[in-house]
Structure 1
Amino acid sequence: MLIGEVAQRSGISARMLRHYDRIGLVSPSERTSGGYREYSESDMRRLFHVEGLRSLGLSLAQIADVIDDRAFDPAVMVDNVIERTREQITQGEELVQRLEDVQATAPKTWADVLRTIGLIRGLESPSPSHRQQLVLKAAEPDQRDVPVLVEAMLRENTEDAAGALQWAIARSGDAAIPALVQALDSPDSERRRRGFDALVKLDTPAAVRVIMGLTKHEDLRIRNRAIITRAQHGKKGSITALIGLISTGQDDVEAADALTELALRDEQVDHVMAALATALRTAEPDARRRLVGALNDLPPDATKDTLTSLLDDEDRATALTARFILDTQAKNDRV
């Protein structure tokens, strides 16, 4: 086949075919009766071999090195291409992230863009100390910089620099909430943890409302903290939810503290005791041990009957815990 026909059938431009010929990669090896150079069947197989290697990301120089090498190991080549492609994807993702960071600051001039890029580069310094000092030396954070600070905090791998970034974000107030909420949907558990902890440290009414709305979040840590936060703010349904955490051993110490606070602050001792008594009757031994422990800081008058009923509990640890609490209450009464 002549070059024009090869180009038409293969989809490779005549210009590229001539380039392959010039560099000796694929050259027509036959001639027609009229003296025109013609691609043989063997030439065509080589051409498609070259195109196949190009589709894997190899350069023409790399193809030239391997195409005639009988000792060439294609598995090694594929591994190298995979690794190089992954690096390119990572670099591309980093570029997209940087562009999104700049876009999030809503720049109006090139000066704004350059200022943001300068901040991003500073926060990408290889020195953790430099990253920390950059944040600590800053004056009141510019609201436009908050998305950049949040993203830097979420990917920070040292506690000191991450702490400095959380401090700066907390000073920015509610402006950080949208970016932090977005982090809560990340598939990366560490990124979710950092975002949630920063949200807690904001400690503003808006941030608290967000946290209280996370009681059905798929992340167990976030969900449990949301339940406890709701209890700390006296929301309905908190008693049952807290007892559930204690029973299952999920943040049970914090849940027990929140239950005590709820009972004493909101004068719900009777409701709390009724719910605990009901749970104790049906709970498994491990859960009963935790539930009886939750009675320790509640008023003795309210807990005495329930504790007494547990002195003969079939689970020895539960009975001993009940006895210990009763003895402690009696000793305190004598003082």
Structure 2
Amino acid sequence: MLIGEVARLSGVSSRMLRHYDSLGLVRPTGRTAGGYREYSAEDVRRIFHVESLRSLGLSLKEIGRALADPAFTPAALVGDLIRRTQDRLAKEQELLERLRAIDASTPTGWQDVLRIVELMRELDSPSAARRQQAVLADDASASPELLAGAVLHETDPHVAGALRWALARSGGGVAELAAGARSEDADTRRRAVLAIAGMPDAPGAVEVLTDALRDTDTTVRGHAALALGRRGVAAAVPTLVGMVVVGANDVEAAEVLGLLSQDPERAGRITTALADELAAPTADAATRIRLTQALVELAGTTGLEILRRLAHDDDHAVARVASALVGVLEARSPDP
């Protein structure tokens, strides 16, 4: 077959076929009497081999080496192609996220675009000080989606704190944080929920925090419970009581339980939950002391009644703590 017919059948242009010939990649087996390239069936098969390998991302040089080596094994080359493709996709995804961040900021001119690009560049700086300075700039909160993306990956606590402050100031970025709260990575979920906890009045924030109460990670559940408890959401009670039991931010959890107990309907539920944990056979002395201390935060007199009983507990350490707390509560209110 002549080059024009091969081009028609294979879909490879005559120009590319000549290029293959010049590289020695696919040389036609014969020539016509007039000197034109004449391809055999085997030549055409080789063309299809070349095109198949090109579709995988191999360079023509790599294809030539692969086809020239009869002992060639594709495993190493395919593995390298996979790594290169993953790197390329990661870069493309990063570019896509940057473009979306620019679009979400609704720029009105190129100056807005340049400002956002500059903020991106600063947030990517290896210097934590530069990242923090960029976040604290007056116009940083105008890009909540960008800030939300940054907070999900920030490991420096000071920069992360600045990012959460800027996000709370902007009131946006909840959609990006919500996506982070569904991440398979626990650290990402922790950062997302902690950031949302700082902006509970933002649209959709309560829903994300409520979902986080079912998270498999105790830290994520704790961030969500503290934020929801401060907003008076009763669903946070079991997690808050659990935090007191295990000693995870137990003082803060007890304070939030105290706020929730100002509602009489919740007060009984909270008191019962703490009392049940105090009576649990698995509760050691340290746990029971934490639970005893939590009772002092509760509104009303129910907690005081339990503390008076605990002042005579068989565990002397628990009894001493309860007795001291009874004295504190009675000093606040002279009526028994």
- Say yes or no: TM over 0.5: yes
- Counterpart of 2:40? 40
- Counterpart of 1:296? 293
* TM-score of the pair, normalised by structure 2: 0.75
- Counterpart of 2:227? 229
- Counterpart of 1:193? 190
Question: How far apart are the structure 1 equivalents of 2:258 and 2:3?
Answer: 87
> 1:59 Cα deviation (Å)?
1.3
Q: Kindly tell me: are residues 12 and 310 of structure 1, through their superposed partners in 2, closer, same or farther at Cα, counting changes over 3 Å?
A: farther
* More displaced 10-residue stretch of structure 1: 182-191 or 249-258: 249-258
AA aligned opposite 1:169: L
> 1:155 Cα deviation (Å)?
2.8
Q: Kindly tell me: are residues 159 and 251 of structure 1, through their superposed partners in 2, closer, same or farther at Cα, counting changes over 3 Å?
A: closer
> 1:24 Cα deviation (Å)?
2.2
Question: How far apart are the structure 2 equivalents of 1:158 and 1:47?
Answer: 54
How many residue pairs get aligned? The number is: 323
Question: How far apart are the structure 1 equivalents of 2:69 and 2:122?
Answer: 47
Question: How far apart are the structure 2 equivalents of 1:228 and 1:333?
Answer: 25
Question: How far apart are the structure 1 equivalents of 2:329 and 2:25?
Answer: 97
Question: How far apart are the structure 1 equivalents of 2:83 and 2:69?
Answer: 22
1:10 aligns with 2:10: yes
> Which sections of structure 2, spanning at least 5 residues, go unmatched?
297-302, 332-336
Residues 1-335 of structure 1: matches in 2 within 5 Å? 1-31=1-31, 37-70=37-70, 72-136=72-136, 138-139=137-138, 141=139, 144-172=142-170, 174-202=171-199, 209=206, 213-214=210-211, 216-218=213-215, 220=217, 221-236=219-234, 239-240=237-238, 242-246=240-244, 254-263=252-261, 265-266=262-263, 272-280=270-278, 283-286=280-283, 290=287, 293-298=290-295, 301-304=304-307, 306-307=309-310, 311=314, 319=315, 321-326=317-322, 328=324
| CA offsets 1:163-191 (integer angstroms, 9 cap, x no match) | 3333333333x234444344323333333
| CA offsets 1:207-246 (integer angstroms, 9 cap, x no match) | 8745654454535333333333333344445555544554
- Counterpart of 1:316? none
Question: How far apart are the structure 2 equivalents of 1:75 and 1:20?
Answer: 25
Q: Is the 8 A contact 1:243 1:255 kept in 2?
A: yes
Q: Aligned with 2:292: secondary structure? A: coil
> 1:94 Cα deviation (Å)?
1.2
* TM-score of the pair, normalised by structure 1: 0.75
Q: Kindly tell me: are residues 35 and 331 of structure 1, through their superposed partners in 2, closer, same or farther at Cα, counting changes over 3 Å?
A: closer
Q: Is the 8 A contact 2:308 2:323 kept in 1?
A: no
AA aligned opposite 2:131: R
- Counterpart of 1:314? none
Question: How far apart are the structure 2 equivalents of 1:231 and 1:284?
Answer: 28
> Which sections of structure 1, spanning at least 5 residues, go unmatched?
312-318
Q: Is the 8 A contact 1:246 1:253 kept in 2?
A: yes
